[in-house]
Structure 1
Amino acid sequence: MGTSKRPLPLAEGSRRRRLLSALGALLWSPHLPLAAQAGPLRVVGSADPPYRSHGPVGASGLYYDLLKEAAQRMGWTLVFIEVPSARALRMMETGEADLMMGPLRTPERERFLSYGQIGLPVEDKVFYTLPGAVPLRSLADLQGRRIAVQRGKRYGGGFDTDMRLQRHEVGDYRAALEMVVRGRVDAAVLPERQGDILLRKSGLGLVKQPWRLPGEVPYLVIARRSPWLARQAELEKAFQAMREDGSWQRILQRYR
């Protein structure tokens, strides 16, 4: 024998209907913050201290500390994914990742990356060689020499487009420096701050050549396929506010 349900009092039933209607509107409302609709912002990149680091306590480094400060101000949730640079760029192109920090600007990359207005600290690229190597003074001095570069990186200053140069791609910069020590290449080219730290920690005994490639602006970029692209302007405002209130400079000072 079935049991009939007692009808709700008119006032209570009306309140419940209004509550359900409001909840339904909230669930699909286009005015919800995009972060709630898109999920965490997926940040992808290689481990390149002191710019990007991954460890037991999470992601850190100059670039990631800047991003985390901005995200905290906006209430965004970040997920950091460590992969080699070439793989990171592919993930940005296919929409598997949302944001990347550090790429130089190239026409090829602009097809799938939105560069916006957030430029990161400029860093010269320098060459490390064995002691006693013939000094480098220009791009012409690199001709005939084997140069280790990191796969997926760009260096600017005409270096990337000079077809006369012998570039040997490696997976990371530590491997590039070790190749110089073993005599497999004549020089390795690295961002200066990063190269100096690696050299100091490794004790490999290489020297830094005085000639360098002038730094070009690295950018914070958002994948054109990412749903977060619609909030790029909001992120730019947060970074601008950090510059104005001194937070940007305080974070930079940690990595001097």
Structure 2
Amino acid sequence: MALWSTRRRCLGLLLLAWRLPVLAQPQVLRVVGSADPPYRVFGPEGAGGLYFELLNEAARRLDLTLRYQEVPSARALRMMEAGEADLMMGLLRTPEREAFLSYGQIRLPAEDKALYTRPQVTPVRQLGDLLGRRVVVQRGKLYGAALSSLPRQALTEVNDYRSALEMVARGRVDVAIVPERQGDLLLKATPMDLVKQPWRLPGEVPYVVLSRRSPWLARQADLERAFQSMHEDGSWRAIVARYR
């Protein structure tokens, strides 16, 4: 009798489990961001660059499907806030962003920001040398606490760093602030009569972030373990070395 009762209970649990709705699992991890070579590159053969190479390797280890979408930084942040995208690469940490972004433990290599000007200008050797100059930056990007001391009216925002450098070359502004590797790459691809100043804005730590409204938030720990395994086996170091 006891054995029959146990079997009935087991059968009842199985029927209950079968009737419960299956929670939908996300199929595609939606990645958004602006094109910022050599960090984020969008091309006909897929997404690449330093940040996306790291992400592609982590996704391979987890057997994840990624869908990349190139959008301006400000729009990408709005998509993350609305839950229309899942992940961004290379975000600096702020209290405002933490309200809708989960930063986790994945830190990307920090990058100093270089200052590009026309030749024969007074050198920029410290932050105070920017006072009185017209500075151009990319819309939606952060440049650390140091730049926040400049008056807002001294800053011009554009959608991409190439436009920023072109504005300096044409004399419309005085200084463009660009991540150093990216600025050097842009000038190599499109030579302009510009020089790099001796002073740098120190790089702050960028992160891999997930939208707090993303269904992938439940797998953030899995992503972190995949990136950690890349550190442990040398894959992370090998990828970063290709961009030095």
TM over 0.5: yes
Q: Which amino acid aligns with 1:86?
A: A
Q: Return closer, same or farther for 1:164/1:139 CA change in 2, 3 Å cut-off.
A: farther
Describe the SS at the equivalent of 2:148: coil
Gaps of 5+ in 1: 1-20, 31-35
Counterpart pick for 2:232 among 240, 244, 255:
244
Match of 1:47 in 2: 35
Would the aligned equivalents of 1:143 and 1:165 in 2 still touch at CA under 8 Å?
Answer: no
Describe the SS at the equivalent of 2:68: strand
Match of 1:60 in 2: 48
Counterpart pick for 1:71 among 59, 64, 79:
59
Describe the SS at the equivalent of 2:224: helix
Match of 2:170 in 1: 182
Match of 2:91 in 1: 103
How many angstroms does 1:157 deviate by? 4.1
> What's the C-alpha RMSD, in Å, of the aligned pairs?
1.9
Identity %: 66
Match of 2:124 in 1: 136
Tell me how far apart the structure 2 counterparts of residues 255 and 222 of structure 1 sit (CA, whole Å).
25
Match of 1:211 in 2: 199
Would the aligned equivalents of 1:157 and 1:213 in 2 still touch at CA under 8 Å?
Answer: no
Tell me how far apart the structure 1 counterparts of residues 145 and 48 of structure 2 sit (CA, whole Å).
29
Tell me how far apart the structure 1 counterparts of residues 127 and 20 of structure 2 sit (CA, whole Å).
58
User: Following superposition of structure 1 onto structure 2, how do residues 103-182 of structure 1 map, counting pairs within 5 Å?
Assistant: 103-163=91-151, 166-182=154-170
Gaps of 5+ in 2: 1-13
Q: Which amino acid aligns with 1:75?
A: D
Would the aligned equivalents of 1:128 and 1:207 in 2 still touch at CA under 8 Å?
Answer: yes
Would the aligned equivalents of 1:52 and 1:60 in 2 still touch at CA under 8 Å?
Answer: yes
Would the aligned equivalents of 1:149 and 1:188 in 2 still touch at CA under 8 Å?
Answer: yes
Q: Deviations over 1:2-45 (max 9, x none)?
A: xxxxxxxxxxxxxxxxxxx89x9499545xxxxx7112000000
Would the aligned equivalents of 2:131 and 2:150 in 1 still touch at CA under 8 Å?
Answer: no
Q: Which has the larger radius of gyration?
A: 1
1:200 aligns with 2:188: yes
Tell me how far apart the structure 1 counterparts of residues 130 and 117 of structure 2 sit (CA, whole Å).
12
Tell me how far apart the structure 2 counterparts of residues 215 and 26 of structure 1 sit (CA, whole Å).
54
